[in-house]
Structure 1
Amino acid sequence: MSAHDLPQVPDNVEWPIILGIDPGTLVVGYGAIVLRPEGPALLAAGALRASRSGDVPTRLGFIRQEIDMVLKRLRPTVVVVEHAYTAINVQSALRVGEGRGVALSAAACHGAKVVQYQASQAKKTLVGVGSADKERVAKMVAMQLGLEAAPEPLDASDALALALTYFHRQRLEKQLGARP
């Protein structure tokens, strides 16, 4: 699904929308949930794919335009971006960092609250193990959102895991704050 095909969330939506972004310079996963009183529900999920034939600045420009469209159509109040990680491959880490920068700047320009989590934090929150594989995380995302199958591709499931992590952490903070 293209960012232009996403549903247009109306201005007066009554529940918060949390958008997770799994950044990159070729593929960017996104996943949005609506925080309803009965629990989170899937709003949209997918991946933005830049052309491999383009140079890095061109791919980053494409990704920025697509993220801007996702933000415009889904109107999230919070955007959760995967935090930078230390990679063995320096080039790979640099590329992911460039993609993160695009996502962070787009979210900030949109006016959303921006939150960052390590992938291991999301895995630990959802699965209980910070080193869980992507397939296990995807299954837990599907289970928590009441879906028959995990959203594809795995980049989208990873993005939804970030959004669900925000939901769980906020719920826990409220519960702890409510204690006498």
Structure 2
Amino acid sequence: MSLRVVGVDPGLTRCGLAVVDVAANRQVSLVDVTVAGTPPGTPLDARLLTIANAIDAWLDQHKPDVLALERVFAQVNVSTVIGTAQVTGIVITAAARRGIPVALHTPTEVKAAVTGSGQATKNAIGKMVAKICRLDEPPKPADAADAVALAIAHAWRGAAAGSNASASAATSGGAGQLTAAQQAWIAAEASAKHRAARR
């Protein structure tokens, strides 16, 4: 039985939306991907309404089991962070109305899960997304590829988090061996938890 995950890369100008079905063997099938966009000069209320309507339609059409959303971090550009946070609130609310669980993932965690490196470039993410989903080329723009990566990362998270037995097998090279990407995910997740505990 497959898991259907919606990935959302939140943003006011470009909000990436993706849907993937992931089988028990971790094989990923891309169902749909798009970007909901609003022009920067448009009044804020109209921009948020446009994205809210797009999210509502996306969730009603695809009926995911879970929604994976990028966690908002403070950046140099405060206005960008505020806009992203506003869209994040819209997405979480839309999912909550439908009883869809929401999982937040940091960019580093997603990069590690998909590419094996928490420092991967957007170009590297796009290439791996295309490879994992068996596409001729990465989804464009980059926000679309990022949304697919979020969905994949969440679907693979359970396997990456693994049990102690799986981790032991990885160390010994046994049948339950974790991939390099899964090991990088575990390291990224542990690092994020460590940083959160220090705040």
Pairwise TM-score range, normalised by the shorter structure: 0.7 to 0.9
SS in 1 for 2:95: helix
Question: 2:2, 2:116 → 1: CA distance?
Answer: 27
CA contact (8 A) 2:7 2:148 kept: yes
Moved more, 35-44 or 150-159: 35-44
Partner of 2:186: none
SS in 1 for 2:163: helix
Question: 1:17, 1:47 → 2: CA distance?
Answer: 19
Deviation, 1:90, is: 1.2
Partner of 2:2: 15
Question: 1:32, 1:146 → 2: CA distance?
Answer: 15
Moved more, 157-166 or 118-127: 118-127
Partner of 1:26: 13
Of residues 70, 80, 83 in structure 2, which corresponds to 1:92?
80
TM-score by length of 1: 0.85
Partner of 2:136: 148
Q: Which amino acid aligns with 1:158?
A: D
Partner of 2:47: 59
CA contact (8 A) 2:18 2:33 kept: yes
Which has the larger share of helix?
A: 2
Partner of 2:102: 114
Partner of 1:35: 22
| Structure 1: tracts of 5 or more residues without a match | 1-13
Which of structures 1 and 2 has the larger relative contact order (alpha carbons within 8 angstroms, sep 6+)?
Answer: 1
CA contact (8 A) 2:3 2:155 kept: no
Q: Which amino acid aligns with 1:21?
A: V
Q: Which amino acid aligns with 2:79?
A: Q
Backbone CA RMSD of aligned residues:
1.8
Question: 2:109, 2:116 → 1: CA distance?
Answer: 9
CA contact (8 A) 2:108 2:118 kept: yes
Question: 1:41, 1:98 → 2: CA distance?
Answer: 30
TM-score by length of 2: 0.78
Deviation, 1:170, is: 1.6
Identity of aligned residues (%): 27
Tell me how many residue pairs correspond in the alignment: 166
Please list every run of at least 4 consecutive aligned residues from structure 1 whose deviation after the TM superposition is greater than 2 angstroms: 177-180
Question: 1:59, 1:119 → 2: CA distance?
Answer: 24
